[in-house]
Structure 1
């Protein structure tokens, strides 16, 4: 059989890449064509994504791949939540403001003065997070942004690049849900939310399902892949079983279950769980956890002080430190913004009556242990709310390269952890395209193929009774800080 090649443009919070997937009918092989940094830019006190630099690199990667292979299609995935505004002529009004910018400070309470918090959840089923697109748009209305006088179209970051590739303005379903502006049951915009915050309804474009063709770029078909990077990563899970949870581990940790329906009720609301759109009619019931962002920020702070650790160095440091000296709740607001993360952790420990970590080794061990223990607490909520049993956890994304954290996670949740692939997002992006082209029959066939093609590592739980005891400590601490 002639090998078919598709391109997965995969944009993460730290870097982007153009990956070429070759499929021979039995196995899929990914080749990195072009990798590039995704470096935010401060200008006049505002933190922006550099969309034009990303676009330059996307085109460069496509050209490089097309010079070597006949490309059957292109698909784009990216981080979620970021709204993009175009004017009435289809021109970008501004580089997109980064979701970690402080413009959304106070925006959640501003929205809840116009629509009750519980009603917002009932309409969207999305976890409340300051960075959500709803609060980014609300902050613009609240602050009388001049862009509102010129806005013609609302897109997501992934939709923007699909538009620049094809000239077609469409909103991809998995991306629309992440912004907390879409009803996951009707798969349409929740117009009452837009009216409540005063954002113009005529900016909305049709929502399309992942897998739909949306146009061409220099003669190459462009397919709306699962646009949200976590949605794509979940497609790329190499499994043939059903009773599993997944953890997309990277800058963010997204821990969840794949269901055939949203779960929007009081229990899900109290647990602050999110119902994001998935591929092939699925819903991803999950929780966003701050993830390896905390470790990345520690690393940046130490590098500025002359201690330039690699990620492997951080793992070795953590292995050398004493276990269970202190814990943090990764999801408190303290850790959301850019800054001196070690000092933020020390301040949190002092505030919660713990001895702050003194060495870099103890600090990074605290981060990894806290993440693993938080995974257990979130998994317990997911199981209780959904009623779904979980026998194993599939860890996908860059965090699969951290063997220590994978082992800690297995210990904490008292279940096997299957780690891999690291490039699940690009794989899932490619799989959606291959299904759309008829090369694979459906998601089940694709995952069975991936299970045969992809190497994984299994971590069996160790000393789980001790880890479960420590999870109880963290649970008490989380409850105390939320009072």
Structure 2
């Protein structure tokens, strides 16, 4: 009898429910449900529609029932840093404001009045990004103090989805580390730091590791979808799940989890909170079994997604790649410049950067696509040099996983710029990693190493360079 494991993988632009099964060491996937996602303007703030998102999870589960493929377990992963606040009746306080919202502007300065940026990094090992939970909470404290005062619980986005499924409040380790409020040595909330910042300590839930069972679905949920199943915490941060699906057990494995964001780094067994690491703005996010994802957040395919939308979705991503190859525009932008985080016009932001840096301005859609793809590849090259410097390791191979691995032109540029052998795939790395944790919890694999060997055998990869 087939045994199915359901991964709900929510990205910033889309989500999906994928079923996985283990057939004699071969992982097989089936996409059951796909849905759109995106930030909505609600009363002047960019917010997530949590009611809609949870409804899409239920829709996916109902589809499983309809085709007779009932998952034995389910786990949810999402992007990092965003959260909800709940009151004493477990109702939402305010909206689920997204990380691209302008409320975070200037909140770094407010935090640094209490603790310096250098000391904060030494304490948490998390790179500075103005959208980190630590700064978002300062925005709530500064702009809506009553919300924080009335809060009884803080749940990161996947933790909230798990709560809606089970009624149990927890903080999964990998997603919690994106908050910049976790001590990398104790692997728990830094309550001293939280107290210093004036955030209520009681709203932070107990940390649970990937593979933890939350028990079965709430009665109301199981009755609505027509069956019951167990909820198991995956690596709830999507990058934590994606890294698990990198098909390599080598000690020094360099990867890019490529999607809306490009997360480029290595897996480490201990954090690096050194001044050198801070100066290069690397982060030490939590991974499976207390590994660390030592990486850098790069703006990623958000830029090309924004361009596609600005062009009224006239071109597919594949067409934009092909068009970019035909362009002769040689300009390069800094993908990590904050102007590209949430511009009203990505094209205008690119043109402005080129003007300010005395480079030719892109004019045609093909020019903009080439500038973005080439700039990403150059950024990967720069990040490679930084990783090799701080890790004191020379890399020969780069693994690219995730939806962005379909960008053939970007893969070619990456191989050319980095001069590495680039191994590309699997595409659905995040869902695979999510499913792997569930399978490990149910003894489908004896170890992560065995699971990664199964990934290598189950999915085709392409080699560039």
Q: Normalising by structure 1, report the TM-score.
A: 0.92
1:46 equivalent to 2:55? Answer no
Q: Map of 1:411-450 to 2, 5 A cutoff?
A: 411-450=416-455
SS class of match (1:222): strand
Match of residue 375, structure 2, among 370, 383, 387: 370
Q: Map of 1:146-157 to 2, 5 A cutoff?
A: 146-157=146-157
Q: Deviations over 1:330-369 (max 9, x none)?
A: 0111111142111111111111121211222111101100
Q: Map of 1:267-416 to 2, 5 A cutoff?
A: 267-303=276-312, 308-322=314-328, 325-416=330-421
User: Within 2, Cα distance between the matches of 1:330 and 1:70?
Assistant: 43
User: Within 2, Cα distance between the matches of 1:39 and 1:330?
Assistant: 21
Moved more, 82-91 or 134-143: 82-91
Task: Please say if residues 252 and 267 of structure 2, whose CA atoms lie closer than 8 Å, have aligned partners that are also in contact.
Answer: no
Task: Please say if residues 8 and 75 of structure 1, whose CA atoms lie closer than 8 Å, have aligned partners that are also in contact.
Answer: yes
Name the residue aligned to 1:12: 11
Name the residue aligned to 1:475: none
SS class of match (1:263): coil
Task: Please say if residues 256 and 262 of structure 2, whose CA atoms lie closer than 8 Å, have aligned partners that are also in contact.
Answer: yes
Q: Deviations over 1:175-217 (max 9, x none)?
A: 0001111112211001122122211011111001111111211
SS class of match (2:333): coil
User: Within 2, Cα distance between the matches of 1:387 and 1:224?
Assistant: 34
Q: Map of 1:54-453 to 2, 5 A cutoff?
A: 54-67=53-66, 68-217=68-217, 218=222, 219-303=228-312, 308-322=314-328, 325-453=330-458
SS class of match (2:409): helix
SS class of match (2:96): coil
- Aligned Cα root-mean-square deviation (Å): 1.2
Task: Please say if residues 83 and 179 of structure 1, whose CA atoms lie closer than 8 Å, have aligned partners that are also in contact.
Answer: no
Task: Please say if residues 15 and 38 of structure 1, whose CA atoms lie closer than 8 Å, have aligned partners that are also in contact.
Answer: yes
Q: Deviations over 1:72-98 (max 9, x none)?
A: 101111100102111122222233101
Moved more, 354-363 or 110-119: 354-363
Pairwise CA distance, 1:429: 0.3
Task: Please say if residues 159 and 172 of structure 1, whose CA atoms lie closer than 8 Å, have aligned partners that are also in contact.
Answer: yes
Q: Deviations over 1:223-250 (max 9, x none)?
A: 0100000000001112243332110111
Task: Please say if residues 343 and 349 of structure 2, whose CA atoms lie closer than 8 Å, have aligned partners that are also in contact.
Answer: no
Task: Please say if residues 233 and 424 of structure 1, whose CA atoms lie closer than 8 Å, have aligned partners that are also in contact.
Answer: yes
Distance 1:434 1:357, change over 3 A: same
SS class of match (1:163): helix
Q: After TM superposition, what 4+ stretches of structure 1 lie above 3 angstroms from structure 2?
A: none
User: Within 1, Cα distance between the matches of 2:417 and 2:247?
Assistant: 23
Pairwise CA distance, 1:169: 0.5
SS class of match (2:90): coil
Pairwise CA distance, 1:295: 1.0
Task: Please say if residues 100 and 338 of structure 1, whose CA atoms lie closer than 8 Å, have aligned partners that are also in contact.
Answer: no
User: Within 1, Cα distance between the matches of 2:378 and 2:440?
Assistant: 37
User: Within 1, Cα distance between the matches of 2:269 and 2:65?
Assistant: 37
SS class of match (2:152): strand
User: Within 1, Cα distance between the matches of 2:361 and 2:271?
Assistant: 40
Q: Deviations over 1:419-475 (max 9, x none)?
A: 101100000000000000011011100000111111010101xxxxxxxxxxxxxxx
SS class of match (1:417): strand
Task: Please say if residues 82 and 156 of structure 1, whose CA atoms lie closer than 8 Å, have aligned partners that are also in contact.
Answer: yes
User: Within 2, Cα distance between the matches of 1:389 and 1:225?
Assistant: 32
User: Within 2, Cα distance between the matches of 1:244 and 1:25?
Assistant: 26
SS class of match (1:280): helix
Moved more, 384-393 or 442-451: 384-393
User: Within 1, Cα distance between the matches of 2:192 and 2:249?
Assistant: 40
Name the residue aligned to 2:225: none
Task: Please say if residues 276 and 390 of structure 2, whose CA atoms lie closer than 8 Å, have aligned partners that are also in contact.
Answer: yes
User: Within 2, Cα distance between the matches of 1:221 and 1:66?
Assistant: 15
Report how many residues are paired. 455
